[in-house]
Amino acid sequence: MNERQEAGAGLSTSASPQAAAPTDEAKNPLLVALGERVRKLRAQRGLTRKAVALAAGISERHLANLEYGTGNASILVLQQVAGALHCSLAELQGDFTTRSPEWLLIRELLEHRSEPQLRRARLALHALLNGADDPARHSRIALVGLRGAGKSTLGPLLARALDMPFVELSHAIESLAGCSVREIHNLYGTMAYRRHERRALEETLQIHSEVVIATPGGIVSDPATFQQLLAHCTTVWLRAAPEEHMGRVVAQGDMRPMADSQEAMDDLRRILDGRAAFYSKADITIDTSGQTPDQSLQALVSGVRKAMGMGSSRD
C-alpha cells in the first residue's frame, strides 16, 4: 500500500466529516499554524476541502485533521497537499517570503533566473534600498574561504604590501566575548557565536576605512552578516583543493582531523561543496592550490590592486 493509500485507507471522501477538535492546550502550536496555513491557501484558491483531498489523494478527514492542527502528516502527505493547492512545500509551511502578495510576485520574478541574473538583481536591489555604495568598500579587503585556505598567512602580508592594518576577525570575536571561539560554541551555542561575529564585523567596519580582514570560514552561514561583508568590503575568496585545506590544518598543529582522516576529508568536501556557491560571490577568486606562499601572495596583491585601481604600486 503506498503513501496515498495509507493516508486515505478506509475513509470515504464523499462526505464532509468534521475532525474532533481537542482543547487548545492539547494542540501543538506548529501543527495549528500549519493547519491555518492550509485553510488560508485553500480559501485563497476557492477550493473545497473535498476537492483538495481528492487532488491530494488523501481522505477528507485526514485533511480536516491537518487543518484543525491535530493531524501530524508525513512530509510526503504535505507534498501531496501542496501539489493539490498548486503551491510549493515552502509556501505551504509558511516561509516568510510567501506571506504577502509582493513577496510572492518577487519570488515569481526571480524564479528560474541564472546566477548572473540573480547577482545583478541583488546588486540593483541593494543600490535601490540602501543608496550608493560605501565609498570605503574598495579600501577594505576581506578574505573569505575555508580554514587552511591561507587567510591568516596571506592576510598580514597583503596588509603590509598595501600599508593597511590587519584584523583577524576571530580574535576580534574573542575580545568581544571574553573567551575563545570554542568556548563560545560550547557554553553559549552557535547563535551566540553568530551574534558576536556580526558585532565584531560591524565594529571593525566602523573603526577602519582601510583594512585587510581575515574572516572565519563559516561567516557565509549567516546571510545577513555575509551581505554586510559584501556591501562594505572588496571580498577575496582564497580557494584551495580539499586535500590542501586538510594538509595546511594539520601543518598548523591541529591533529584532530587525522583521528579519522577519511571521514574528516569527506566532511571537508561536503562543507566546501555547501559553501562554494556563497564564496563565489566574492569580487576576486585566488586559487592557492599547488602554489607557494610567495606565488599566492603575488597573485593576491595583483588582484587586489587591480580591483582597487591602484596599479602596480600604492600612490
153 is in an annotated binding site: yes
- Per the DSSP assignment, residues forming a β-bridge with 167 are 213
Q: Is 10 annotated as a binding residue?
A: no
d(Cα 178, Cα 175) in Å, to the nearest integer?
Answer: 5
Instruction: Read off the DSSP letter of residue 59.
Output: -
Q: Is 281 annotated as a binding residue?
A: no
CA distance 225 to 184: 18
* Whether the Cβ atoms of residue 300 and residue 285 lie closer than 8 Å to each other: no
Is 149 flagged in the annotation as binding? yes
| Cβ atoms within 10 Å, residue 295 | 11
Return the number of other C-beta atoms located less than 10 Å from residue 79's C-beta: 16
Asked if residue 145 belongs to a known ligand binding site, the reply is no
What 8-state DSSP symbol labels residue 233? S
Q: Is 152 annotated as a binding residue?
A: yes
Q: How many residues does the chain have?
A: 315
Locate all alpha helices (DSSP H) within the chain, ordered by sequence.
Answer: 3-8, 29-44, 49-56, 60-67, 75-84, 89-93, 101-110, 115-130, 151-162, 169-177, 181-188, 190-207, 223-232, 242-251, 261-279, 293-308
**What is the helix (H) or strand (E) element at residue 235, kind and residue range?**
strand 234-239
Annotated ligand binding at 217? The verdict is: yes
* Binding-site residue positions: 148-153, 194, 217, 256, 275, 291
| Residues of each annotated binding site for substrate | 194, 217, 275
Question: Which residue positions form the known binding site for Mg(2+)?
Answer: 152
**Annotated binding-site ranges for ATP:** 148-153, 256, 291
